[in-house]
């Protein structure tokens, strides 16, 4: 298992995405935060922007939908060619049904849970998803501190993924930086979103390498 490092473009320059994508070219996937000022109290962009992003980078897009009524909208993102589409369980009437529709549309299907949402309900359904996103901050804004209590969900999910030998990526998003990424990897996360930690760095490419190296170190020391 090796770590994936996905910079969140929530911290990028919104009128210079093409230029900023160039500064993170050594990343694994590009994490694209879609917010609707409804499911979360912040607003970013929607389907036409994501479709356009797809055209300006060869990198796979890791779309994170923080939108209400997601059963209506998520498949459209898969149809733009997004490599991965992750929606919030709290915003879906039927997460398993939606995941099946995303896979049928050719995307990897991810399910995300907010800090207050229990992971247990999803452990029995993990095989239906390609990624579980454990939010380590309240979704909505970059630059927040990681909520420690969320990490027990990473440990629980990793235990189940390993026990059932599932091919499910375990992603964390929010407050991930060089001070905690190794420890989170040691708990079993394999896919790391980092917004401010990457975009604030003077040399973003070097910071991506640094974060991924630390994560791989943590993965190699898993107990």
- Catalytic amino acids? 33, 173
Say whether residue 210 binds ligand DX5 (CB under 6 A). no
Binding residues for ligand DX5 restricted to 53-112, rule: CB under 6 A: 64
Sketch the per residue contact string, 17 through 36, with ligand DX5: x for CB under 6 A, - otherwise.
--------------x-x---
Residues 6+ apart with CB under 8 A from 155: 187, 188
In sequence order, which ranges of 32-148 are alpha helices (DSSP H)? 47-56, 70-79, 95-104, 120-123
Residue 184 · residue 218 · CB < 8 Å = yes
Sketch the per residue contact string, 141 through 180, with Zn ion: x for CB under 5 A, - otherwise.
--------------------------------x-------
Sketch the per residue contact string, 86 through 125, with Zn ion: x for CB under 5 A, - otherwise.
----------------------------------------
Shortest gap between Cβ of 114 and ligand DX5 (angstroms)?
10
Alpha-carbon distance 30 to 63, whole Å? 8
The DSSP output letter for 62 is E
Among residues 28, 33, 177, 190, which is the contact residue for Zn ion, using CB under 5 A? 33
Alpha-carbon distance 168 to 147, whole Å? 23
Instruction: Quickly count: other Cβ atoms within 10 Å of residue 182's Cβ.
Output: 19
Residues contributing to the site for ligand DX5 (CB under 6 A):
8, 10-11, 31, 33, 64, 137, 139-140, 142-144, 173-176, 193-197
């Amino acid at each position: 298992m090796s770590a994936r490092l996905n910079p969140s473009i929530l911290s990028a320059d919104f009128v210079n995405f093409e230029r900023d994508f160039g500064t993170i070219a050594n990343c694994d996937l590009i994490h694209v935060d879609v917010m609707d000022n409804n499911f979360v109290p912040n607003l970013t962009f929607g389907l036409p922007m994501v479709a356009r992003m797809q055209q300006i980078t060869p990198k796979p897009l890791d779309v994170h939908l923080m939108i209400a009524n997601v059963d209506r909208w998520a498949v459209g993102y898969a149809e733009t060619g997004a490599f991965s589409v992750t929606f919030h369980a709290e915003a879906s009437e039927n997460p398993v049904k939606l995941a099946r529709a995303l896979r049928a549309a050719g995307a990897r299907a991810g399910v995300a849970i907010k800090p207050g949402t229990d992971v247990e309900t999803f452990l029995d359904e993990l095989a239906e998803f390609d990624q579980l996103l454990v939010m380590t901050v309240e979704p909505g804004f970059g630059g927040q501190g990681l909520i420690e209590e969320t990490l027990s969900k990473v440990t629980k999910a990793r235990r189940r993924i390993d026990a059932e030998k599932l091919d499910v990526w375990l992603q964390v998003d929010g407050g991930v930086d060089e001070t905690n990424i190794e420890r989170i990897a040691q708990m079993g996360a394999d896919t790391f979103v980092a917004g401010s930690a990457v975009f604030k760095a003077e040399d973003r490419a070097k910071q991506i390498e640094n974060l991924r190296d630390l994560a791989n170190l943590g993965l190699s020391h898993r107990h």
